Amino acid sequence: MEKGDVTLGTKGKISVIMPVHQTERYVKQAVQSIMHQTHEILELILIDDHSSEACTEIIQSLKREDERITVHDLEKGKTVGAARNLGLKHATGDYIYFIDSDDYLPERTLAILIEHVKGQPMIHGRVKSTGFGSGMAIVLDGLFKVKQHTEKRYHLFKNRSVLNTLFRTEYIRTHGLSFREDVQHESDLAFLVPALAETISVPYVKEAVYFKRKRNDPITEPSLSQADEAEKITDFLSVYHALKDQFPDEETQHYLDTQLLNYYRKEMVMYFKVNDHIDGVYEPLRVALKRVHPDEVQGWFFKREMKAIQRHVTAYKKVSKQHHLLRDMRNGMKSRRKLYIFLYQHVFSKLSIKENVIFLESFLGKNYSCSPKYMYAYMQEHYPNYRYVWSFTEKRNIPGNAKQVKRFSLRYFYYLARAKYWISNSRLPKYLTKREGNIYVQNWHGTPLKTLVFDMEDIHSADPNYKKSFYEQSRRWDYLSSPNQYSSDIFRRAFQFEKEMLEYGYPRNDILYQQNNPTDIQAFKTKMNLPLDKKIVLYAPTWRDDEFFSRGKYKFNLQLDLELLQERLGKEYIIVLRMHYFIANQLDISGFEGFVYDFSTYDDIAELYLVSDILMTDYSSVFFDYANLKRPILFFTYDLDKYRDTLRGFYMYLEKEGPGPLLMTSEEVVQAIENIETMTSSYAANYSAFYNRFCHWDNGQATKRTVEHVFGEPK
């Protein structure tokens, strides 16, 4: 349907009410999605609570662009309920529609709603969650099915929200409907229940879609629903009591009780896992639960808790604790891993901590490498009084006297619980709660090019709760290694890291200073079974957030034309392929034996750096480390635009600041290698600026200095 075509709808004017509160990243899209509605007869009433200057600026400038927009000021600190009520006061339309300033609509949502409301007091559409800046809603004409919900009309609003409902203004005015202003949360319920109590049936049309943005950062940018749990519970209970008093009919009573019990079961119980949390809400909760009809309470756990809560706070706390233990145990029976987690949390962590045990892991146990390897090797020599436990996915041949444990085995959990020290270069699972006395050294694994955690906007990876999980996991780090000032600055912000930064360069890069000589290089080549008469191009790309089989298992499509490379470079060069440790598929290199070598499972990429003559990568942090060798670097960036602009975003202009050229095709790669000397000299100035900025702290002493900082000088 063309924009402006109102044949689908009636001519009714819609007043869209949008409270604006700290959503500078999203409000523009929200407003534009209203202004671009095909049903154009509308006014947009923006309520500015002045919580953010940036928001005020954005909405004032949007207002200048369209006369259908008005902005009204709300006193600072007032609630969203107050904002919506103010909007209602100014509304002049025949219909009212509420939208939040971080959400957005496909362009036909309002047209579909208004066409199907047909004289009824309200109509409801579908609310879809999305993690991204633009959701997809394909709506085909003529397929709309309107369902009338009569007895189950309350059921339509099980999320207790007025969003994506078109109300007739007259209905709101006649019944004096308004939002509670004294609560921050659940003010919708106080509007909805009376609205539903006065109507018989509510039509629902699923093609009218509303995109609700799933906010991915509850830590630095929480949405209202991600706010303090105690406050949410208190508000809910206050609204519950008021409505229970006001609407004695059976249906409403049942709806309210169900809401309370669902809330209790799904959220409160988890919140009470920290026993002290109960104190803040005990009394109002006790009184509220007393009002619930006994038939509504089902299940042994639940009944026992209901009885205890009526007795006394200490009785309830005791029962809550027992039940959590039982729940954990029951959960522990579900799989071997879950049983081990249970034992880790409730048994092993209660045993004494072993002061001289160090637990190490590198790249999720996949290899013996990176900074943990070099810390271990150094400590083996200089700190004989410690005992070492390495976690691997498979048994490995490693030097020294370390005990090896299989990752996620019973011994893995046992030693993690008992070791005083943890050394790792990536995150450890969230359920490994840190015990008192534990010291966790996080080496991390690269200078960042791609934006990290709290600097990321949309999350395209397999884990939608990435930011929250990362935050929780990184709270356990006591020390964090940093390779350069640039990384320190980013880590502080993007990881929200506030503890001690170890600013000595990367232990994993010492080898690039200590063993960068012909004898050692030849020995490595021999160990690797690589030809001694060929030059080596190491191709080490990174992973792509949106190409995966499942969580943690990513796939890689090789875009290099190996045939072309072999034909043009085969006489002089061989190619060593090295996939990122997240990549789960094996590359097919059959037919290229003697020219292409797959070193994806080789332990230590630093040794591959040493034997290679040229590094080729894309957006992997490997080039920051490789630059320590001052050898040529090429970037094969065939998907640069998508990677940089959609998936991750970068911290620097690779085109301008990178130490080598960006190549888009295999032909360009071949030409760059054929003319490697010319290329090298044309990038000399860039390279040396790059080296000075990123490799300045690395000088072959990082391991010693890092170890001594954490463990003191050897005795």
- List residues near ligand C2G by CB under 6 A: 370, 445-446, 448, 452, 540-542, 578-580, 605, 620-622
The nearest distance, CB 541 to ligand C2G, in angstroms, is 6
CA distance 297 to 293: 8
Identity of the residue, 84 or 508, whose beta carbon is nearer to ligand C2G in the bound complex: 508
The nearest distance, CB 442 to ligand C2G, in angstroms, is 11
Q: Where are the beta strands (DSSP E) in 573-712?
A: 573-577, 596-598, 614-617, 633-636, 662-663
CA distance 109 to 33: 10
Identity of the residue, 23 or 488, whose beta carbon is nearer to ligand C2G in the bound complex: 488
- Three-state secondary structure string covering 488-528: HHHHHHHCCCCCEEECCCCHHHHHHHHCCCHHHHHHHHHHH
Pairing of strands 122-130, 165-168: antiparallel
> Hey, how many other C-beta atoms are within 10 angstroms of the C-beta on 387?
15
The nearest distance, CB 622 to ligand C2G, in angstroms, is 5
Calculate the alpha carbon distances from 651 to 448, 545, 621 in Å: 7, 17, 12
Identity of the residue, 240 or 599, whose beta carbon is nearer to ligand C2G in the bound complex: 599
Structure tokens at 684: 């000399």
Structure tokens at 697: 């702290």
The nearest distance, CB 672 to ligand C2G, in angstroms, is 19
Helices (H) and strands (E) in the chain, counts: 28, 23
The nearest distance, CB 38 to ligand C2G, in angstroms, is 42
Identity of the residue, 116 or 445, whose beta carbon is nearer to ligand C2G in the bound complex: 445
> Hey, how many other C-beta atoms are within 10 angstroms of the C-beta on 642?
12
Q: Compute the half-sphere exposure of residue 280: CA atoms within 13 Å on the CB side of its CA.
A: 15
Identity of the residue, 216 or 484, whose beta carbon is nearer to ligand C2G in the bound complex: 484
The nearest distance, CB 576 to ligand C2G, in angstroms, is 11
Residues 6+ apart with CB under 8 A from 107: 3, 33, 36, 37, 38
Identity of the residue, 215 or 445, whose beta carbon is nearer to ligand C2G in the bound complex: 445
- 588-597 long-range contacts, CB within 8 A, separation 24+: 589/562, 592/562, 592/566, 594/531, 595/562, 595/565, 595/566, 595/570, 596/562, 596/566, 597/530
The nearest distance, CB 384 to ligand C2G, in angstroms, is 29
The nearest distance, CB 680 to ligand C2G, in angstroms, is 22
The nearest distance, CB 491 to ligand C2G, in angstroms, is 8
Q: Please report where in the chains the tokens 């436990």 appear, as a residue.
A: 389
CA distance 589 to 578: 12
Identity of the residue, 300 or 653, whose beta carbon is nearer to ligand C2G in the bound complex: 653
Identity of the residue, 446 or 505, whose beta carbon is nearer to ligand C2G in the bound complex: 446
The nearest distance, CB 497 to ligand C2G, in angstroms, is 12
Task: Determine contact, residues 480/497, Cβ cutoff 8 Å.
Answer: yes
Residue closest to 694 by CA, chosen among 451, 485, 425: 485
Identity of the residue, 116 or 578, whose beta carbon is nearer to ligand C2G in the bound complex: 578
3-state secondary structure of 98: strand
Identity of the residue, 9 or 541, whose beta carbon is nearer to ligand C2G in the bound complex: 541
Task: Determine contact, residues 183/193, Cβ cutoff 8 Å.
Answer: no
Structure tokens at 56: 């005020």
The nearest distance, CB 462 to ligand C2G, in angstroms, is 13
The nearest distance, CB 446 to ligand C2G, in angstroms, is 3
Separation of CA 248 from chain center: 44
Identity of the residue, 568 or 578, whose beta carbon is nearer to ligand C2G in the bound complex: 578
Identity of the residue, 165 or 487, whose beta carbon is nearer to ligand C2G in the bound complex: 487
The nearest distance, CB 84 to ligand C2G, in angstroms, is 42
Report residue 467: phi and psi, to 5°. Answer: -65, -45
Structure tokens at 28: 């523009």
Identity of the residue, 332 or 632, whose beta carbon is nearer to ligand C2G in the bound complex: 632
Structure tokens at 269: 């119980």
